[in-house]
Structure 1
């Protein structure tokens, strides 16, 4: 029986049982399994991993684990610079697909201008396929879903609080500078475009027609938006996220 040492750093310990957190673990194995399979045997989904160092040298997921190896596994928050640098996956664009448990988070991400797919009836296999074929980051509360082989970009959302979830994702993917508020439809994810009041006049309620002059329309579902009473609350929420992106859960 071969043996290798594994050390999981920072938030990767979230997936380990209490007695296995922040300690060096011994992994017993036959033959030479890939380090990806070995990592997931500990319960850690591979999309959470950013850097792998074996005996001080960077490797990718295909590396066959050898007897006596020392394996250090890092998330993005503690990614280390090794020479030569080995990339585990392409750098993701800030485009998302979310599972059924994250509907409020989907609305928040769209409010901030991020391309976010969400349905309350996505089956797991479709979530994995969309993430893979469209190069979207899969956000989920299902650890098993992240372990699917075709998923390369993904993240297990830790917090159960909707506002903290948003802050968590913004910090994890370093998105504060990419926020473009009110550029997408909260309901369908389509892009919003400015329209003249005259072009939509017949669609407006009398009070809206009287009190507002600036309008946007979704180029996908045709929904009309204006700066109503909810706009200031949304602005206040967005500014709070930008000014104070603190995630207590991590």
Structure 2
């Protein structure tokens, strides 16, 4: 008995997920006649977190739709900015995205990060329990059914990862309000409160401090502040409230 064949059209931005011999504008796929369209798309290597919509013969269909022989399928990428149900928007990053996690926290974005590999099942369960968007470059992890929401990080370079995430999810930015070490909130602190953490030169040179309410770590405008401030300023110009209003005008 011949297996049903369908044509699947994939936008350029999602073709990196396809096998090398299928990266044209369309690809012929043999199905078993009973699998959902969502399963078929995943079997090609595309995480459903990256799919914004599916259409068959020009008609929008759910992921549960079972395509018939000869169906012409169009896969659409996620529309940016992507609106995630629920508020506030919070993230969970896997062990390989430490620099991105620190930069998101620097911008005041609630970002959980595990600096040890706790395993895919635990990460997926944490995403569901805490309603966090799981960000990862691991396609297998993003296919886990228990995920609350997820997103593929398309670059392996932190300088490209941050604008990619900010443009996709458009989180509210509140720079300098979170601890980059543990994600806790920062509060103003006087020098006496954090004195034990300061070297002699720092105590003599600085008077304005903040402290993490969760881990107690002290912060001040030290030698690396100018570099961090430049990163913050660039992000705020491109993705802060004024930039968002400008794009909507």
Give the 3 Å change call, closer, same or farther, for CA 59–88 of structure 1 in structure 2.
Answer: farther
Alignment of 1:200-239 (within 5 A): 200-201=194-195, 204-239=198-233
Contact 2:80 2:167 in 1 (8 A): no
Contact 1:89 1:152 in 2 (8 A): no
Contact 2:105 2:180 in 1 (8 A): yes
Find the counterpart in structure 2 of residue 90 from structure 1. Answer: 85
Alignment of 1:16-95 (within 5 A): 16-77=18-79, 90=85, 93-95=88-90
Partner Cα separation in structure 1 for residue 32 and residue 147 of structure 2 = 26
Find the counterpart in structure 2 of residue 133 from structure 1. Answer: 129
Find the counterpart in structure 1 of residue 114 from structure 2. Answer: 119
Find the counterpart in structure 2 of residue 185 from structure 1. Answer: 179
Partner Cα separation in structure 2 for residue 106 and residue 78 of structure 1 = 21
Give the root-mean-square deviation of aligned CA atoms: 2.5
Deviation at 1:98, TM superposition (A): 1.2
1:160 partnered with 2:156: yes
Deviation at 1:71, TM superposition (A): 1.5
Give the 3 Å change call, closer, same or farther, for CA 31–116 of structure 1 in structure 2.
Answer: same
TM-score, normalised with respect to structure 2 = 0.84
TM-score, normalised with respect to structure 1 = 0.84
Find the counterpart in structure 2 of residue 248 from structure 1. Answer: none
Give the 3 Å change call, closer, same or farther, for CA 143–37 of structure 1 in structure 2.
Answer: same
Contact 2:19 2:45 in 1 (8 A): no
Partner Cα separation in structure 1 for residue 220 and residue 48 of structure 2 = 43
Equivalent residue pairs, number? 236
Deviation at 1:42, TM superposition (A): 0.5
Where structure 1 has 5 or more consecutive residues not aligned to the other structure, the ranges are 80-86, 246-250
Find the counterpart in structure 2 of residue 14 from structure 1. Answer: 16
Deviation at 1:163, TM superposition (A): 1.2
Find the counterpart in structure 1 of residue 247 from structure 2. Answer: none
Deviation at 1:197, TM superposition (A): 3.7
Secondary structure in 2 aligned to 1:213?
A: coil
1:3 partnered with 2:8: no
**Most deviating of 35-44 and 113-122:** 113-122
Deviation at 1:233, TM superposition (A): 1.5
Cα deviations by residue, 1:103-127 (Å, 9 ceiling, x for unpaired): 1111111111111111222211111
Deviation at 1:78, TM superposition (A): 7.5
Give the 3 Å change call, closer, same or farther, for CA 88–30 of structure 1 in structure 2.
Answer: farther
Give the 3 Å change call, closer, same or farther, for CA 13–152 of structure 1 in structure 2.
Answer: farther
